[in-house]
Structure 1
Amino acid sequence: MPTATLAPSWSAPVPPGIPRAAASLSGRRWPGMAWLLAGLCALVALTGCGSLPKDVDRPVSRALSAPQGTPLGQLAASLTPRTARAGDSGFALVGSPNEAFSTRLALTQAATRTLDIQYYAIHADASSRDLLRAVRQAAARGVRVRILLDDFNSTGRNALVMGMAFVPNVEMRMFNPLPGGRGAGMLRAVGALGDFQRIQHRMHNKLYVADNAWGITGGRNLGDAYFGTADGSNFVDMDVLAVGPVVRAMSASFDRYWNDALAYPVQSLITPQELRRLRDVSTTPEQPPQADHGAAPGPAQASAAAPSASAAPSAAAAQDPAATLPGPADLRSLPLIWAPALLLVDQPSKLVPEQNDEHSEDTVVDGMLHLMQRARGDALIVSPYFVPGPQMMKVFADMRQRGVRVRVLTNSLASNDAPLAHVGYARYREALIRLGVELYEMRAEQGAKLDRTVFGSGAGGSKASLHSKIFIIDGRVISIGSMNLDLRSKLQNTEIALVIRSAALSREATAKIDDTLDDSAWRMELTPEGQLRWKAPAGASFGDATSEPDASLGLRMMLQLLGPFAPDEML
Structure 2
Amino acid sequence: MSFIDLLRHLRHRTWSRWPIMALLVLAFGGCGGLPKDVDRPVSTALDTAGERTELATMVQQLRQKAGARHASGFSLLSGPQEAYGSRLALVQSAQKTLDLQYYAIHADASSAHLLRSVVNAARRGVRVRILLDDFHSTGRNALVMRMAFEPNIEMRMFNPVAGPRASFLGRMWGAVSDFSRVQQRMHNKLFLADNMMGVTGGRNLGDAYFGKAEAENFVDLDVLAVGPIVADMSRSFDSYWNNPRAYPVQSLVSREELDRLRAQVRSSGEKAGAEAGSPGSTAPADRSLASSPQWDTQPMDLRTVDFIWAPAAMLVDEPTKIPLEGDEPAPSAAIRVGTTPGAHPEASDTPQAPPAPAAPVSSGDTVVDGLLTLMDRTRRELLIISPYFVPGDDMKRAFARARQRGVRVRLLTNSLASNDAPIAHVGYARHREDLLAMGVELYELRSEQAGLRSAFGSSGASAAGASRSMLHSKVMVVDGRMVVVGSMNLDLRSQLHNTEIALLIRSRALAAEAAQQIDTAMREGAWHLQRSADGDLVWRAPQGSGLEDAHTDPDSSLALRLLLKLLGPLAPDHLL
Q: Normalising by the residue count of structure 2, what TM-score does the alignment of the two structures yield?
A: 0.86
Deviation of the 1:517 alpha carbon = 1.1
Q: 1:358 to 1:106 in 2, by over 3 A?
A: closer
CA distance in 2 between counterparts of 1:358 and 1:420 reads 28
1:404 to 404, 407, 416: 407
- Distance apart, 1:290 and its partner CA: 11
- Taking the TM superposition and a 5 Å limit, the aligned residue runs for 1:32-51 are 34-46=17-29, 48-51=30-33
Residues 127 and 321 in structure 1, CA contact (< 8 A), matched pair in contact too? no
Cα distance in 2 for partners of 1:366, 1:158 equals: 33
Q: Is the 8 A contact 2:91 2:98 kept in 1?
A: yes
> In the alignment, is the contact (CA less than 8 A) between 1:27 and 1:120 conserved in 2?
no
Q: Shift of the alpha carbon at 1:541?
A: 3.3
1:100–1:512 distance in 2 versus 1, CA, 3 Å = same
Contact 1:202 1:492 in 2 (8 A): yes
- Give the Cα separation in 2 of the matches to 1:43 and 1:364: 33
Counterpart position of 2:488: 483
Corresponding position of 1:303: none
**SS across alignment from 2:107:** coil
Report matched runs for 1:16-95 at 5 Å.
28-31=12-15, 34-46=17-29, 48-69=30-51, 70-81=53-64, 83-86=67-70, 88-95=71-78
Q: Relative contact order: is structure 1 or structure 2 higher (C-alpha 8 Å, sep ≥ 6)?
A: 1
**1:125-178 deviations in whole A, cap 9, x for unaligned?**
000000000000000000000000000000000000000000000000000001
Distance 1:427 1:526 in 2: 15
Identify the residue that residue 9 of structure 1 maps to in structure 2: none
2:225 to 234, 242, 255: 242
Q: Whole-Å Cα distance in 2 between the matches of residues 555 and 133 of structure 1?
A: 41
1:457 match: none
Alpha-carbon distance between aligned partners in 1 of 2:113 and 2:328, rounded to the nearest angstrom: 40
Q: Which whole-Å CA distance do the structure 1 matches of 2:292 and 2:235 have between them? A: 33
Encode CA deviations 1:248-283: one digit per residue, 9 max, x unaligned.
000000000000000000000000110011100111
**Structure 2 residue 71 is matched with structure 1 residue 101:** no
CA distance in 1, matches of 2:469, 2:551: 21
> Which consecutive unaligned segments of at least 5 residues does structure 1 have?
1-23, 298-305, 308-312, 447-459
Partners in 2 of 1:315 and 1:427 — Cα distance? 43
Alignment partner, residue 182 of structure 1: 165
Query: Is the 8 Å Cα contact of residues 317 and 332 (structure 2) preserved in structure 1?
Result: no
Sort the Cα spacing of 1:259 and 1:432 in 2 relative to 1 into closer, same or farther, 3 A. Answer: same
Q: Partner letter of residue 39 of structure 1?
A: A
Paired with 1:119 and 1:262, the residues of 2 have a C-alpha distance of 15
**How many Å apart are 1:560 and its aligned residue?**
1.2
Return closer, same or farther for 1:289/1:569 CA change in 2, 3 Å cut-off. Answer: closer
Q: Is 1:524 aligned with 2:529?
A: yes
Contact 1:173–1:263 (Cα < 8 Å) also in 2: yes
Q: Which residue of 2 aligns with 1:504?
A: 509
Is the CA contact 2:33–2:174 (under 8 Å) kept in the aligned structure 1? Answer: no
Q: Judging changes above 3 Å, is the alpha-carbon distance between structure 1 residues 429 and 276 closer, same or farther for their aligned structure 2 residues?
A: same
Question: What's the secondary structure of 1:407's corresponding residue?
Answer: strand
1:424 to 422, 427, 430: 427
Identify the match of residue 346 of structure 1 among 317, 321, 329: 317
Whole-angstrom distance in 2 between the partners of 1:72 and 1:287 = 39
Distance apart, 1:30 and its partner CA: 1.8
Cα distance 1:198–1:408, how it changes in 2: closer, same or farther (>3 A)? same
Alpha-carbon contact 1:126-1:321 (below 8 Å) kept: no
> Distance between the aligned counterparts of 2:160 and 2:286, measured in 1?
36
The letter for the 2-side match of 1:122 is: I
- Among 440, 465, 474, the residue aligned to 2:470: 465
Distance in 2, Cα, partners of 1:320 & 1:25: 27
CA distance in 1, matches of 2:564, 2:257: 41
One-letter amino acid of the counterpart of residue 317, structure 1 = R
Cα shift readout 1:307-355 (whole Å, capped 9, x = no counterpart): 6xxxxx9799348897734210000000100000001100000001624
Residues 383 and 410 in structure 1, CA contact (< 8 A), matched pair in contact too: yes
RMSD of aligned Cα (Å): 2.3
For the residues of structure 1 that align with 2:429 and 2:142, how far apart are their CA atoms?
35
SS in 1 for 2:328: helix
Question: What 5-or-longer segments of structure 2 have no aligned partner?
Answer: 1-7, 334-362, 450-464
For 2:206 and 2:285, the matched residues in 1 are separated by 23
Instruction: Read off the aligned partner of 2:370 and give its amino acid letter.
Output: G
> Which position in structure 2 is the counterpart of 1:557?
562
AA in 1 matched with 2:47:
S
Where does residue 353 of structure 2 map in the other structure? Answer: none
Aligned to 1:335: 306
Change (3 A) 1:287 1:192: closer
Q: Cα distance, 1:515 vs. partner?
A: 1.3
Alignment size in residue pairs: 519
**Shift of residue 39, structure 1, vs aligned partner:** 2.0
**1:135-534 correspondence to structure 2 within 5 Å:** 135-284=118-267, 288=271, 292-297=275-280, 317-318=287-288, 324-352=295-323, 354-357=328-331, 361-445=364-448, 462-534=467-539
Counterpart in the other structure of 2:111: 128
**Residue 412 of structure 1 contacts residue 442 of structure 1 at CA under 8 Å; is this kept in 2?**
yes
* Cα deviation, residue 539, structure 1: 2.2
**Alpha-carbon distance, 1:67 to partner:** 3.3
Q: For 1:272 and 1:545, how far apart are their aligned partners in 2? A: 54
- Alpha-carbon distance in 1 for matches of 2:380, 2:558: 40
Q: Which amino acid aligns with 2:260?
A: R
Aligned-partner Cα distance in 2 for 1:356–1:114: 32
Cα distance, 1:497 vs structure 2:
0.4
CA shift, 1:463, in A, is 1.4
Counterpart CA distance in 2 for 1:378 and 1:491 is 26
Q: Which amino acid aligns with 1:475?
A: G
State the alpha-carbon separation in 2 of the partners of residues 554 and 105 from structure 1: 43
Q: Cα 1:90–1:358, aligned 2, differ >3 Å: closer, same or farther?
A: closer
Taking a change above 3 Å as real, the CA distance of residues 76 and 234 of structure 1, as seen in their structure-2 partners, is: same
Contact 1:111/1:210 (<8 A) preserved: yes
Instruction: Confirm or deny: 8 A CA contact 1:127 1:322 kept in the other structure.
Output: no
Identity over aligned pairs, percent: 56
The residue identity in structure 1 corresponding to 2:171 is R
Task: Output the amino acid matched with 1:143.
Answer: V
Give the Cα separation in 1 of the matches to 2:213 and 2:273.
21
**Is the CA contact 2:122–2:153 (under 8 Å) kept in the aligned structure 1?**
yes
Q: Tell me: CA distance 1:497–1:319, structure 2 relative to 1, closer, same or farther (3 Å).
A: closer
Matches of 2:538 and 2:100, distance apart in 1:
43
Deviation at 1:361, TM superposition (A): 4.0
Q: TM-score by structure 1 length?
A: 0.87
- Residue 563 of structure 1 aligns to a residue whose secondary structure is helix
Question: For the structure 1 residues 64 and 27, does the alpha-carbon distance in structure 2 shift closer, same or farther, using more than 3 Å as the test?
Answer: farther
Q: C-alpha displacement at 1:184, in angstroms?
A: 1.3
